[in-house]
Amino acid sequence: MQSALDSFETRKASILHKAFTGELTAKWREEHGVKLEGWEKRKINSVAKTQAGYAFDSKLFSADGIQVVRMGNLFNGLLDLSRNPVFVNENILDAVITEKFCIKRGSILLTLTGTKYKRDYGYAVLISEDIPLLLNQRILSLCPDKIATNYLLYYLRSDQFRDIFFSNETGGVNQGNVSSKFVENIEMPFPSLHEQQEIVRILDSLLESESKAKELCDTIDKIDLMKKSILARAFRGELSTNNPGEESAVELLRKILA
């Protein structure tokens, strides 16, 4: 089962590779008379407004106020505000800081620090909710400006980007870091806006299908574990009772496994 799950990740990486090399939209370009040579290379900071996070003093953290988004809240493409939440009372913050480091809806957050050589950071998360949040240090906010938001998001999740990203990893024995300036200057493939939107449409469809297949695989795996657990209980006699009116453990087991 693990090999099946691993294959999903391999296929996902392959799909994203095809997206950013132009293979995924080859037919679309042919139908619209567009050449692959029309693709440009543009630096990330030319298509998105970037903002590095602020080093909030942990002494200012409180039980309520505006939540500060830290790296622990961003993992593998998901925003989880329930993980060790910390807040800052807005009344003690400078208004300029509050405005500058406020996370806006539609921005993409990218973590810049993790375990060296393990590639357990560089996760890109789209902020889709309009709630007050503040940007902590070692997180880069990218506000798409001249690019389709989900096109940029998919690129930041591709191996093409991540390979370039981790090529600039620095740090000590355990902690790895990538600078925000390096990320801002990475050149990415840049087709027309119409082709970007077509790429996003195709990726949404393909990756949704892959996600559903993965969920099915996970479900089958859980069912297998349940069956093993039930069988183990049956052989230990834990499915039987002293009530003569109840079904035998064997009959109950047959129904469960069916």
For residue 216, the model assigns a pLDDT of: 45
- Please give the pLDDT value at position 227: 60
**Domain locations in the chain?**
1-39+191-258, 40-190
* Stated pTM of the model: 0.81
Top-level class of domain 40-190: alpha beta
Q: What is the pLDDT of residues 175-198, one digit of tens each?
A: 999 999 999 999 999 999 999 999
Quote the pLDDT of residue 4.
Answer: 54
Q: Which two tokens stand for residue 99?
A: 């405005």
Residues of the chain with pLDDT under 50: 1, 213, 216
Residue 63 is predicted with a pLDDT of 87
